[in-house]
Chain A
């Protein structure tokens, strides 16, 4: 997928968001080896130091780890991944609900709307790491 960056937001934060989403969604599955920083930097057309900074952040959160000689890997720790999905989905839910509130919807109307959506879209149609799963 092509990388696009918004102006006015630090690039490492945008990269971080993208990598978190890719890990949460299983684009990079648990335990998978990640591409080298330089390679990803080239692909994204960004400075390798910026990419490195995003990786360092992921490492600090325990989502990826470095093995000295063989590279960087996605954690196999399901708890950390569940935590990641939860925090990502919180952001999405927050944004969605704020918009709905601005549109004039009441809280119970939002809950009803979400419930309707979940019954119309059965669980197995979703990929791993969807909001539904994260909030189970």
Chain B
């Protein structure tokens, strides 16, 4: 059964339709890439799933429920900007998350911080942009959630850390978890994706298994993306 489902989902900002009739069903145990040009509705879709926005029409369901307090318990969300309290040091962020989320695994987060040589005594806002992104992703992936919503998780980090982060995603999502990640850096994430969803002007242009797409088109997902969205 789909763990994330959109039914005729629309979101209007004034009279601009950011999402225009999205129908989508995502199964657990998959890593799904949400791709599309700027302004195609990726962040809007993710924010609707996290109840930061409400639909204008239609429905979005997480585990059969409308987004709200209950779904936030099972959804781990990484926004596309800084969201952690800047004055805290990394160690107290771990405590903060442990207090807030029963499914947070502080031990695992500690290991990842170690692996990326991030000093837990540093204050969050004084870290470099890339390091802040790494910390936020570590916090997000250290929850044992059913759904991970990752909005541009690797955009700001260096290529070596990108590899580490992608491995982190592969090794940390649970077998019945769904990872939905939006990105422009398709080439980097391609090998880890099960499925891709192409958003175009607020609707789903394509939803396909990544290998099936490569087989059908003889192109990489990135190559096909460039063709579909040629300017």
Contact = CB atoms under 8 A, between A and B. Distances in A.
A7 B227 CA distance: 14
B170 interface: yes
B214 A47 contact: no
A47 B220 contact: no
A45 B192 contact: yes
A46 B219 contact: no
Interface of B: 29-31, 163, 166-167, 170-171, 190-194, 210-212, 214-215, 217-220, 222-223
Contacts of A44: 191
Contacts of A5: 191
Contacts of A46: 170, 191-192
Given A42-B167, A42-B171, A45-B166, A10 B191 contact: no
Interface of A: 5, 7-13, 38, 41-42, 44-50, 53
B167 A47 contact: no
Kindly name the residue among B166, B167, B191 whose own CB sees the greatest number of chain A CB atoms within 10 A.
B191
Contacts, number: 56
B171 A38 contact: yes
Consensus secondary structure, chain B interface: helix
B169 to A, nearest CB: 10
Given A44-B191, A45-B163, A47-B31, A11 B170 contact: no
Nearest to A39: B171
Contact of A11 (B31, B166, B171, B214): B214
A15 B220 CA distance: 16
B215 A47 contact: no
Contacts of A47: 31, 170, 191-194
16 contacts: A7-B220, A7-B222, A7-B223, A8-B217, A10-B212, A10-B215, A45-B163, A45-B166, A45-B191, A45-B192, A46-B170, A47-B31, A47-B170, A47-B192, A47-B193, A53-B211
B211 A48 contact: no
Nearest to A49: B194
B223 A11 contact: no
Nearest to B173: A48
Contacts of B211: 10-13, 50, 53
